[in-house]
Amino acid sequence: MKSALIIDDNALIREVLRQILSSLKVEQIVDAPTGRLGLQHAMQDKCDVIFLDLELPDTHGITLLKQLKASIKTPIVVITAHSTRDNLQDAMAAGASGFITKPFFGQKIAEVLSKLKKQAVSVA
């Protein structure tokens, strides 16, 4: 994975995830604090993976996930502090490629990226 988009309204979460991704050799990292900006970046900036929060100030993450999946093929990993069975089921049904509960650690992000790389290789 060379590029990532982080859509999360929490600046600290965006920065921590940016640092983790940088340490994992992700070269280009763009972030957005709202769903609207995240959607714009997703459409303009080709990226290898999107990390998407469920609770955004201007939209719900599942709604945005559905919009993104209708337009692009980029894997989307949901990150949320609200790890309920319903959120997990809704995210996966909407096309999420992964689901990470906050707080998260570098090892979990590395595992998800590794899984996504393996899936991409098996599809190719």
DSSP string, the chain: --EEEEE-S-HHHHHHHHHHHHHTT--EEEEESSHHHHHHHHHHS--SEEEEESB-SSSBHHHHHHHHHHH----EEEEES---HHHHHHHHHTT-SEEEESS--HHHHHHHHHHHHHHHHHH-
pLDDT in tens, 56-99: 999 999 999 999 999 999 999 999 998 889 999 999 999 999 99
pLDDT at residue 65 in the model: 97
pLDDT at residue 121 in the model: 67
Sketch the domain layout of the chain as residue ranges.
3-123
The answer as to CATH 3.40.50.2300 being correct for domain 3-123 is yes
Higher pLDDT, 46 or 21: 21
pLDDT in tens, 22-35: 999 999 999 999 99
pLDDT at residue 119 in the model: 83
